[in-house]
Amino acid sequence: MRTPESYTASVEDYLKTIYELEEETEAATTNEIASRLEVAPASVSGMVRRLAGQGLLEHEPYRGVRLTEAGRRVALNTMRRHRIIELFLTEKLGYPWDQVHDEAERLEHAASDELIDRMAAVLGEPTHDPHGAPIPTREGTIDNGDSTALTELLPGESARIIRVSDDDSALLRYLSELGLTLGAVITVREVAPFLGPITITVDGASGGERAIAHHIAHTIRLERV
């Protein structure tokens, strides 16, 4: 069986992206993969055929792409490297949480599993990255836990932020400015109709109410308190 090191950065990126899309929609379509990776759909079709030939995914026409167990192991290993690198950069090198994603994207393909395991040991075998995402284990398991999107809360409900998306550095800086960081407790005051903004307050923060756009609120995961 191949080791993770024998796969190219492109293959690892595809498998990780397909895994993430599967988590959101159960199956990844060619257009979704192309949009996420910013490549042409024709390029995706060629790569999908290649990965299917390697036994890393299954493709059913008109039904989308799903990872095989082998493909899932590679995707989770790549995610483990990415998330441990992010945490190492923030905890040991002082990077702010909005600057680690791009660095980790570059380093995840070069770092060996041994280096990642040493980083994890130095960090105390962490379970979550700086943005609250679970870190897969060495054995290839992951505990996504239970969480609720901010868009699912009703007026009057309170919840603690436990995860935010790390894809957009500008968004992370914006959330920091609003006090919407991990561990912050928010209370929903008003939910505008037709996917309008959600008005919240943040416990312990100054500045009163904050209006969060629906598409941003959807990326913020919480646990009810």
For position 4, what pLDDT does the model report?
Answer: 45
Q: How confident is the model at residue 118 (pLDDT cuts 50, 70, 90)?
A: very high
136-166 residues labelled b (16+ CB within 10 A) or e (exposed): beeeeebeeeebeebbebeeeeebebbbbbb
For position 25, what pLDDT does the model report?
Answer: 85
Domain boundaries, the chain: 1-144, 148-224
110 compared with 4, residue with greater pLDDT: 110
Q: Are 113 and 103 in contact (CB under 8 A)?
A: no
| Average of per-residue pLDDT values in the chain | 94
- Position 6 pLDDT exceeds 80: no
Q: Has domain 148-224 been given CATH number 2.30.30.90?
A: yes
Q: How far is CA 209 from CA 186, 198, 204, 224, in A?
A: 10, 10, 12, 19
Q: Has domain 1-144 been given CATH number 3.40.50.1820?
A: no
Query: What are the pLDDT digits (tens) for 152-200?
Result: 999 999 999 999 999 899 999 999 999 999 999 999 999 999 999 999 9
For position 2, what pLDDT does the model report?
Answer: 40
Q: How confident is the model at residue 204 (pLDDT cuts 50, 70, 90)?
A: confident
